[in-house]
Amino acid sequence: MLVVTQQTWDDFANPHHQVFWEWISNMFKTKTGELLSFYEVQRTLRLQTMAAKGLQQIDVDKVVGSVGRYREFTRSFLPKDKRVASRWRQVDELFYEKGFEPIKVYEVNHIYFVMDGNYRVSVRRAHGLKTIDAYGIEFFPPVPIYPEDDLRRIRPRCERFKSAA
C-alpha cells in the first residue's frame, strides 16, 4: 500500500505539471484547452433525440467534455488544481489495485461527454492508455461536431444549418 501511495503522488504530479505547458501550447494554436460543457453543447445544438448504446470501448482522445466537471480538467483531462489531488490519487490507486468500472458518457457524433468517470478518464490518459469501457447514450446532432471543436466553431455551423432549414 505504501508503494502504491508514493506511486500515486508521482502519477498525479506529472499530469498536474503538464497543465502549464499545455496552456502555453494552446495559446500558440489559438485553442482554449477547456473541456466542453455538455449542457452548453446540448443547448447550442438543441439535442433531444437519443438512444442507449450499451457497453462499448471508446477512445479516450475523443472524450472532449463533461456534464458537471468540465472546469476541473483541461481538454486533455489533466487535473487543473491541486485540490483534486486526493480524489485523483484515490482513483489512481484503484487503477493499480483492481481496475475500473466502466464510465458513463453521452455521445454526440462520435465524441464523448462524461456523465460519471471524469477522474477515471484522467487517470487512464495519465497512464497513456488509449481506450476505456463506457456505457453510452447517443444524441443525434443536426450538424456534425468534431473532437477539436469548441463552442466558437460549433455555434456558426449550427447557425448556418438553422438559416438553411
pLDDT digits (tens, 9 = 90+) for 84-118: 788 888 899 899 888 889 999 999 999 999 999 99
Q: Give residue limits of the domains in the chain.
A: 2-164
Confidence of residue 80 (pLDDT cuts 50, 70, 90): confident
Tell me the three cell numbers of residue 80.
487543473
> What CATH architecture does domain 2-164 belong to?
Alpha-Beta Complex (3.90)
Instruction: Output the pTM of the full model.
Output: 0.81
Q: What is the pLDDT of residue 30?
A: 52
CA angle 79, 112, 70 (to 5 degrees): 35
Burial of 34 (0-12, 13-18, 19+ CB in 10 A): middle
Percent of the chain with pLDDT over 90: 42
Query: pLDDT by residue (tens digit) across 41-60?
Result: 999 999 988 899 999 999 99
Asked if 158 and 51 touch (Cβ cutoff 8 Å), the reply is: no
The whole-angstrom separation of Cα 134 and Cα 148 is: 21
Which residues on neighbouring strands pair with residue 37, listed in sequence order? Answer: 66
The whole-angstrom separation of Cα 86 and Cα 92 is: 10
CA angle 36, 92, 110 (to 5 degrees): 35
